Amino acid sequence: MAQLTTCEIRLARTRDASVLAHMSRDYIEHGLGWRWRPLLIREKILAAETVVLIADVVLAGERLIGGFAAMDFGQDQAILSLLAVRPNLRRSGIGARLLGWLHETARVAGCFDIELQVRAGNTAAHEFYEKFGYRVVAHLPGYYSGKEAAYHMTLSLAKS
C-alpha cells in the first residue's frame, strides 16, 4: 500500500472535472464506454442537488486527487452515482471517508435511504458497500448498455 501522509476531504471545483472524468473512465467505466466525460462531471459539480466530493492526498510529497464520489440528493432519497479511489491508494480508508461524509450529509438532508447500482462483476465494490450496510435488492440484467448486469443496492439510513 502507498504511504499516505495527508488525506483531506473537500468539495470538487469545476477545474477538477477533467481529472475526475478520467478517473471515472479508467476505474469505474472501463469496458463500458465513457459516459462521465468532463462536461457531464462539470454539470454535476455545479448542480445544486449534487455533491461531488474529493479526497486530496499527499503522496511522496506530491498533492493529488486520491479518490472522489458524487451523490444526488432528492427529497427522501440520495443516489450514489460515482465513487472511485486510485488503485495504489485502495484499502487505506479513503473510500470509507468519502462514503461516511456523504452518509452524514444525506442524514442531515433528511434522506431515508441511499441507492446505487454496481457492476455485477465488481466483487470488491460489493464487499465494500456491504461492509457499510448496503444490501442487494435487485439484479438488473444488461443494465450497462446490454453489456453487463448491475446489482441495485440500498442502505436504509434509519438502520445504519
Ligand X SMILES: CC(C)(COP(=O)(O)OP(=O)(O)OC[C@H]1O[C@@H](n2cnc3c(N)ncnc32)[C@H](O)[C@@H]1OP(=O)(O)O)[C@@H](O)C(=O)NCCC(=O)NCCS
Exposed, middle or buried, 33 (CB in 10 Å: 0-12/13-18/19+)? exposed
Distances (CA, A) of 10 to 16, 54, 68, 120, 157: 11, 5, 9, 30, 23
User: Is residue 62 near ligand X by the rule CB under 6 A?
Assistant: no
Do the Cβ atoms of 57 and 51 come closer than 8 Å?
no
Q: Which is nearer to ligand X, 75 or 127 (CB)?
A: 127
The string of DSSP codes covering 8-73 is: EEEE--GGGHHHHHHHIIIIISTTT---S-HHHHHHHHH-TTEEEEEEEEEETTEEEEEEEEEEEE
Exposed, middle or buried, 63 (CB in 10 Å: 0-12/13-18/19+)? exposed
Closest distance of CB 95 from ligand X, Å:
2
Q: Which is nearer to ligand X, 111 or 125 (CB)?
A: 125
User: Is residue 7 near ligand X by the rule CB under 6 A?
Assistant: no
Cell triple for 2: 502507498
- 101-140 mask for ligand X (x: CB under 6 A)? -----------------x---x-xx-xx--x---------
Q: Which is nearer to ligand X, 13 or 30 (CB)?
A: 30
Q: Which is nearer to ligand X, 17 or 118 (CB)?
A: 118
Do the Cβ atoms of 113 and 154 come closer than 8 Å?
yes
Position of minimal CB gap to ligand X = 95
Part in contact with ligand X (CB under 6 A); list of ranges 36-44, 91-99, 103-111, 147-155: 91-99
- 20-49 mask for ligand X (x: CB under 6 A)? -------xx---------------------
Q: Which is nearer to ligand X, 63 or 131 (CB)?
A: 131
| Residues of the shown chain interacting with ligand X in the complex, contacts defined by CB under 6 A | 27-28, 82-85, 90-96, 118, 122, 124-125, 127-128, 131
